[in-house]
Structure 1
Amino acid sequence: MKTPEAGDAIAAAPRRGPLHGLVVLDITRVVAGPYCSMILADLGARVIKIEHPDDPDYVRGFPPFVGEGDDRFSAFFAQYNRHKEGITLNLKHEAGRELLKQLVARADVLVENFRPGTMERFGVGYDTLRAVNPKLVYAAISGFGQTGPNALRPGFDNSGQATGGLWSMNGYPDRTPVRVGTIIGDVSATLFAAIGVLAAVREAERTGQGQMVDVSQQDAVLALTENAVVKYTVDGEIAGPLGNDHPFVRPYGQFPCRDGHVFFGGYNDKLWALSCRKFGTPDLVSDPEIDTMAKRFDPEVYARRVKPVVENWFRERSKAELEAMAGDDIPLCAVKNIREVVEDPHIAAREMIVDVDYPQGRIGMFGTPIKLSRTQAQASGRAPNVGQHNAEVYADLLGIDAESLQRLKSSGVV
């Protein structure tokens, strides 16, 4: 078994991109973590997903699946782990911890999403790994962060939505609050972590010093609450559920039409005047009760005068008719279900649905929203099987031959 020296060259994966040459060790599971490293992989980084040989990422068991029986593959897992190389490593084994240190000596970034203190209990916490590789960027994604009185609490997506304030603001005023209908606690933490990693990598390239990127789901969700914080600190008002309404901008929300609902946001004076003319009520432009944005923002005036007008504009028209009438002039669009989104020609033109072929079948998944003009991100790629790239990665990065790898496997290290 060859022990690499810090700074040895690393053989990069053949894909290209703006992060080509960046090596990322991914010790994460579920979404907050895997999605972060996948963003880096889409942008060209070489991402090595490290899983316990007997306890891999349990999202591999999440539906939907392609294939049947023992051969089935999770499309949910595939959507958050494309482009990655998969290896196994047992951090509870002393030899496994030593292998991780050797991998860290060859890497630029490590991403983990354990509860704070877990990596330290394994003996491979940030301080230990920083001593191995001072340039290491170590991203830790958790429910409540690495510091503070609640740091050791377990956290899930719903924990972030609940404690970051978003859950209390979502839903309708006359009902109990409703969680946001997607894992926004996980996803927001992922996005902030990816930004933090890129900033820290830039700093490491400039100074030779890495650092920890500490992102919590609670913090990330709190940062999504728009004007709720300043509304409280300035006016003492506690934000609550508003349904489909905006806290103060009107008209700006969801309105019913003949075959569903549309979003309409013609609230400023220019857009309001244009809308009045397009929908056949030009006299309202100069109506003294609603002729300015400030007047239309007034809740009582809006409910009595403005909302009925807008609802009347849309009631007998279809989503397609309304979008055609609005054209490129008015912010109006259909509220689409996921089938309509996946089949949207504009989504296709933006390459936001990519088809990836697996031996078990084809999976259509979302692409990358990051569009670069010169070094394009790549969104179409497979996720690995458990330990699929053990031989290649351990040979490439650490010089471990097949015989030595087999001994490590037999002893439960990989």
Structure 2
Amino acid sequence: MILDLTHVLAGPYATYQFALLGADVIKVENPTDPDCARGRGPSIDLAAEGRGLNYMVQAANKRALALDLKTKVGREAFLRLAERADVVVENYSPGVMDTLDLSADLLMKRNPRLIHCSINGFGGGAGSAQSLKAYDNVIQAASGNMAQTGKSGPPVKTGASMIDYFTGMSAAFAISAALHERAASGVGQHVQCAMFDCALALMAPEIAAHLFEGARRTVPSEAGLGTYDTADGQLMLGAFTPEQVRTLWRSLGEAEFVVEGWDDVWKSSPAMRERLTTIFATETASEWEARLNGVGIPAQRVRTLDEALADPALARPHFLKALRTHAGDVTVPLSPFTLERDGPTITAPPPRVGEHGEAILREHGFDESEIASLRSEGAIP
């Protein structure tokens, strides 16, 4: 059982991975201040009922318990659940769980087998930034990610929330590793996953190159990697290795450039780029895409999201699942992998706030009088 105290994107995405694989994930939220993602997304009707699309994309298969952890009885109820849990995942700002008197140390003392995962912006240490709140866009700015994206102009934030989702997947991987270790040791542990560290991990080659202090060379932008205008749109070319660059020029019927190794690729790149700019303008992006892929050169037409989803050659029926709602179908992604057996699947729709509260409490030994007491104290709706 996983107790999910997360909100927004990164944390819910981490627990969603386990829910898709069949884990019992219980989303625990404040009854009067639930996950803010519930109110976000283009559907007015779904957002109004607390099932906005930003929430729907990572909440299927979960069960929902509305529980106010700021009340004494709510805290005690959560501790009873945590004593039987395998994992607790939270992405509050550092220190919030301590304020609630639900620190990782306390929870793991109550349940020594517990895996407690904390997801935060800048890490859980004692540094000056560790207590700061953060979102994907802020981390992209702080980490240098935006500056890397905007090397040829103003820094640019990626359109997708890459840091959030990479952080969520990293946290899920770390929790899985901790569960595997627990199978051998019998003891749980505290896992921490910082969005800032995940942002740095996405730039590993750039960081290594930036920090390298030995003799280095400066190379131009490689002509085989980049976007070119065609007769009707843009083409992203991926001729990376010297062999691919040789194949590219052979397929174009051009003998001007002799490429034996990386030095030749770099030395000739400015002239290559100038020539490719002229060549690619003579045919459409789709024609170049077919021609280059036909000889083993990675190349794709730059598509809009609408085009990518509608393209039959790129269709991903195993990856996208339509959920029926009164406001219309909501299509959500599953996990970005498949398994030969028991892979990611959706068996239950995203829950409303507190939808399974009483059933969950009864499963964990709460009798009617205890449930009534929680309600009278305002800990549950």
* Structure 1 length-normalised TM: 0.85
Aligned letter for 1:320? S
SS in 1 for 2:34: coil
1:159 aligns with 2:138: yes
* In the alignment, structure 1 residue 297 sits paired with structure 2 residue 259: no
Kindly indicate whether the alpha-carbon contact (under 8 Å) linking 1:355 and 1:380 is maintained by their aligned counterparts in 2.
no
Partner of 1:103: 81
Measured in 2, the distance between the counterparts of 1:249 and 1:209 equals: 50
Q: Which runs of no fewer than 5 residues in structure 2 stay unpaired?
A: none
Q: Following the alignment from structure 1 to structure 2, what is the Cα–Cα distance between the partners of residues 336 and 230?
A: 32
Q: Which secondary structure does the structure 1 equivalent of 2:134 belong to? A: coil
Q: 1:235 to 1:262 in 2, by over 3 A?
A: farther
Q: Please name the residue that 2:290 is paired with.
A: 324
What residue is the counterpart of 1:353 in the other structure?
Answer: 320
Which residue of structure 2 aligns with residue 90 of structure 1? 68
Worse-superposed segment, 345-354 or 141-150: 345-354
Of 109-118 and 220-229, the range deviating more from structure 2: 220-229
1:147 lines up with 2:128 in the alignment: no
Paired with 1:247 and 1:111, the residues of 2 have a C-alpha distance of 45
Letter in 2 for 1:307: R
How far apart are residue 123 of structure 1 and its match?
Answer: 0.7
Matched, 1:254 2:227: yes
Name the structure 2 match of 1:269.
Answer: 242
For residues 72-102 of structure 1, the C-alpha deviation after alignment (integer angstroms, 9 at most, x for no partner) is 7311110021211011111110111111111
Matched, 1:341 2:308: yes
**In structure 1, distance between residues paired with 2:47 and 2:206:** 48
Tell me the residue number matched to 2:198.
220
Deviation track 1:133-178 (CA, whole Å, cap 9, x = no partner) reads: 10100010001111141211121212321222212211142x3211
Of 335, 341, 355, the match for 1:374: 341
Contact 1:136-1:210 at 8 Å conserved across structures: yes
Q: Which amino acid aligns with 2:79?
A: K
Q: State the number of aligned residues.
A: 375
The question of whether the paired residues in 2 share the 8 Å contact of 1:170 and 1:179 is answered with yes
* Equivalent in the alignment of 1:5: none
Q: 2:2 aligns with which of 24, 32, 39?
A: 24
Question: Quick one: structure 1 residues 130 and 412, their matched pair in 2 at CA, closer, same or farther if it must change by over 3 Å?
Answer: same
Report if aligned partners of 1:158, 1:179 keep a CA contact under 8 Å in 2: yes
What is the CA–CA distance in structure 1 between the aligned matches of 2:317 and 2:181, rounded to whole Å?
Answer: 32
Checking the alignment, whether the CA contact within 8 Å between 2:39 and 2:47 is kept in structure 1 is no
CA deviations on 1:302-340 (whole Å, 9 max, x unpaired) are 22x101222233213222212221235111112221101
Are the aligned partners of 1:260 and 1:319 in contact in 2 as well (CA < 8 Å)? Answer: yes
Partner of 1:232: 210
Q: Check 1:158–1:349 CA distance in 2 against 1; reply closer, same or farther (3 A cut).
A: closer
Distance change >3 Å, CA 190–CA 405, structure 1 → 2 = same
Confirm whether residue 168 of structure 1 aligns to residue 141 of structure 2: no
The answer for unaligned runs of 5 or more in structure 1 is: 1-22, 238-245
- Secondary structure, in 3 states, of the residue corresponding to 2:2? strand
Aligned to 1:392: 359
Q: CA deviation at 1:247?
A: 7.5
TM-score (norm 2): 0.92
Does residue 280 of structure 1 match 2:258?
A: no
Q: How many angstroms does 1:263 deviate by? A: 1.3
The 1:361–1:88 alpha-carbon spacing in structure 2 relative to 1, beyond 3 Å, is same
In structure 1, the residue matched to 2:278 is 312
- The alignment partner of 1:129 has SS state of helix
**C-alpha separation between the residues in 2 aligned to 1:379 and 1:247?**
47
Which whole-Å CA distance do the structure 1 matches of 2:46 and 2:35 have between them? 19
> 2 CA distance for matches of 1:278 and 1:400?
75
SS in 1 for 2:178: helix
The 1:108/1:310 distance shift into structure 2, 3 A limit, reads same
| Identical columns (%) | 27
Moved more, 138-147 or 257-266: 257-266
Deviation at 1:127, TM superposition (A): 0.8
